[in-house]
Amino acid sequence: MFKYLLDSIGVYCDAPRPWGLYFQDSAAPQMEGLVELHDNIMFYLIVILFGVGWILTSVVVNYASDKSPISHKYLNHGISNVPIHKCFNYASKFTNNKVITIPSKGGAGSKFIFNVVIPQRGFSTTSDNRKDEGVSPEKFYENADTMKKIIIEENKGKSGIYRWTNKLTSDLYIGQSINLSGRFINYYNISYLASKNHLIISRALIKYGYSNFSLEILEYCDKSVLLDREQYYLDKLNPSYNILKIAGSSEGFVHSEETKEKISKALKGVYVGEKSALYGRVHTEETKLLMSIKKKGVKNPIYGRVHIEETKELMRQRALARIHSEETKALISQKRGNPINLYEKNSAGEYSLIGKFVSARKAAKFIGISGSTVIRYMKSGGLFKDRYKFKQVRNLSFGSKE
């Protein structure tokens, strides 16, 4: 019965039906071509669907605001003064309601209310909300976002002290520049801010957006007094965004151990060989003498200092674990050893040079005796086995037998 039912269903599904529906096979070449076309179209549509879905999912996951803050140039979502709100804030601040009556044929007339926008300048040369600080800035830009062009244009070719103020947190940053316009152009470059991610002000501008910052030119001044004036405002305002509290100095800034480790790994093996700044350069004797004089006596950084026993032990252990290359050993022997010439007495009673050695130990190794024996015969001037004579020399040129 079950087999009969299956056979009936199979026959029924494969039987021709009106309009070419159900699962019957194609009965004509044209129909077979249409079915194949439909299959191909469906296949490519499914591939495109999955491809687009994968791209959209990757964008949502990889470019979320918590993972990639730079993708959100102005992170104003969910806070006041979002872009759409700025339009209404601007309208409410700079618009006036005007009632205009248009006469009609009946003479009564109709009244219409229009919002007329009155353009106004967006900055002032004095600040009305910072008098309590005892600071009167020369220029004040309320919105660093909408006033970008004005900020850059008005500060071309000028040097001075500026202040960023976060309008949401009231945090401050004090800075100075000999070219204010150029500095502000950098601040408006997201790539530049990302490269300076170690600075708090860079991270803050990316996080909160320019619209939530005001910018002030505290003072235009000559280049020669920039550091003095910056230090004045740093002491007076104590800005929280400034890591360093001394103008033009890195004093007080300490890298964390994690940062030190990252710097060490990043620079290890980078500036070596031909990449070294001193590669191929040799100091002249005059330069060496000047360097020696500069670090002589009380000018030496370790003058008057004595290593503790713990430090000495660490230095000793490190020296014991050091393995010198053959080239280094030869240089050490040349510097510290006793250069010796080895002469051999011939049948005619004359001495011929048979070797030059950087040390007594090397000469002894060549003959097969101890170094102390070589030194003893060298000092006494006697002949070893009535055959070899050792003589100490100066300014040995190497190319010796060992």
Supply the pLDDT for residue 186: 93
Q: How many residues does the chain have?
A: 402
CA distance 347 to 350: 7
Among 148, 160, 123, 135, CA closest to 239: 135
Alpha carbon distance 340, 360 (integer Å): 6
Residue 340 is inside which H or E element, if any? strand 340-345
**Residue pair 174/163 in contact by the 8 Å Cβ criterion:** yes
| Global pTM value | 0.38
Q: Which CATH class is domain 123-237?
A: alpha beta
Backbone angles phi, psi at 176, to 5 degrees: -140, 155
Q: Residue 42's CB: how many other CB atoms inside 10 A?
A: 10
DSSP string over 16-70: --GGG-TTPPP-SHHHHHHHHHHHHHHHHHHHHHHHHHHHHHHHHHHT-TTT-GG
CA distance 148 to 195: 21
132: its two tokens: 């309590």
Contacts of 279 (CB under 8 A, 6+ apart): 273
Contact 241, 172 (CB under 8 A): yes
Q: Where are the domains of the chain?
A: 83-117, 123-237, 331-392
Question: Positive or negative, the Cα torsion across 236, 226, 195, 68?
Answer: positive
123 SS3 class: strand
| Tens-level pLDDT at each residue, the chain (402 residues) | 656 555 555 555 666 666 656 566 666 788 788 888 888 999 999 999 999 999 999 888 887 766 665 544 444 444 444 443 333 344 444 444 444 444 544 445 544 444 444 444 444 444 444 444 678 899 999 999 999 999 999 999 999 999 999 999 999 999 999 999 999 999 999 988 988 888 899 999 999 999 999 999 999 999 889 999 999 999 999 999 988 878 776 555 667 788 888 888 877 777 777 777 778 888 899 998 998 888 888 888 778 888 889 988 988 888 888 888 888 877 777 677 678 888 888 888 788 888 888 788 888 888 888 888 888 888 888 888 888 888 887 654 444 444
In angstroms, what CA-CA distances link 351 with 145, 363, 383, 391? Answer: 93, 17, 11, 12
The third-level CATH classification (topology) of the domain covering 331-392 is: Arc Repressor Mutant, subunit A (1.10.10)
The encoded tokens of residue 141 equal: 């830009």
Whether the Cβ atoms of residue 218 and residue 82 lie closer than 8 Å to each other: no
Residue 187: predicted pLDDT: 94
42-46's contacts with Cβ under 8 Å and 24+ in sequence apart are none
Tokens 């015969």 found at:
377
Compute the 3-state secondary structure of the chain and give helix, strand, coil in percent, each to the nearest 5: 45, 15, 40
* Plot region of 305 (φ>0 → left; ψ -120 to 50 → alpha; else → beta): beta
pLDDT score of 69: 56
DSSP for residue 385: T
What pLDDT score was predicted for residue 72? 45
Supply the pLDDT for residue 77.
Answer: 45
Angle between helices 360-367 and 371-380 (to 10 degrees): 110
Does residue 226 contact residue 178 with C-beta atoms inside 8 Å? yes
Torsion (CA) 221, 226, 232, 234 in degrees, nearest 10: 120
Q: Is 186 helix (H, G, I), strand (E, B) or coil?
A: helix
Q: Which residue has the tokens 């290890």?
A: 268
Q: For residue 278, how far is the Cα from the chain centroid? A: 24
